[in-house]
Structure 1
Amino acid sequence: MPTVFRYKGIRFFFYSNEGNPREPVHIHAFSNSAEAKFWVLPEVRVADNAGFDRRTLVELMQVVEAHRDEIERTWNEYFS
């Protein structure tokens, strides 16, 4: 599970086995008590959430948007 970056103690990563066929580019966010999945393309949006409140999800979406290029680059390098 490659970690792409961390933000306020939340780890942003993707799973090494992303299904067959592989799902489109996305990122998971994990803290001690919550996990969410965000689609990155064509726009950042929440795919799944278990434990993050609405305000935090909005903040995390902004963080994912700010790191979109890094996420996409890391994804492509890893899965190429």
Structure 2
Amino acid sequence: MPLVFRERGFRFHFFSNEGDPREPSHIHVSKDGRDAKLWLYPDVHYADNNGFDARTQRWITEIVEARRDDIEGAWHDHFGTGA
């Protein structure tokens, strides 16, 4: 699973097998057995959340919004797709 970055012990990553056909660009976030999946477009929003409280979810959303270009670039680099 390609790691895009770490922040405060949280892993921001995606999986090499993201569906067939491949799902649109998104990011998975995990820490201490909790995880979430966020869509990047049209706005950053949760597809799934397993264990993160509301305060942590807001923080994760802020990080993903701030680093959306980095995440999308890593996605396209890994999957060999154009931006």
**In 2, Cα distance between equivalents of 1:68 and 1:44:** 8
Q: How many residues are paired up?
A: 80
Task: Give the CA deviation at 1:66.
Answer: 0.6
Aligned to 1:67: 67
Aligned to 2:48: 48
Q: Which amino acid aligns with 1:11?
A: R
Aligned to 2:29: 29
Q: Which secondary structure does the structure 1 equivalent of 2:70 belong to?
A: helix
Task: Give the CA deviation at 1:45.
Answer: 0.3
**In 2, Cα distance between equivalents of 1:19 and 1:33:** 23
TM-score, normalization by structure 2: 0.94
Task: Give the CA deviation at 1:30.
Answer: 0.4
**In 2, Cα distance between equivalents of 1:41 and 1:25:** 8
Aligned to 1:5: 5
Q: Which secondary structure does the structure 1 equivalent of 2:60 belong to?
A: helix
Q: Which amino acid aligns with 2:37?
A: K
Q: Which amino acid aligns with 1:53?
A: D
**In 1, Cα distance between equivalents of 2:56 and 2:32:** 14
**In 1, Cα distance between equivalents of 2:56 and 2:69:** 21
Q: Which amino acid aligns with 2:42?
A: P
Task: Give the CA deviation at 1:11.
Answer: 0.3
TM-score, normalization by structure 1: 0.97
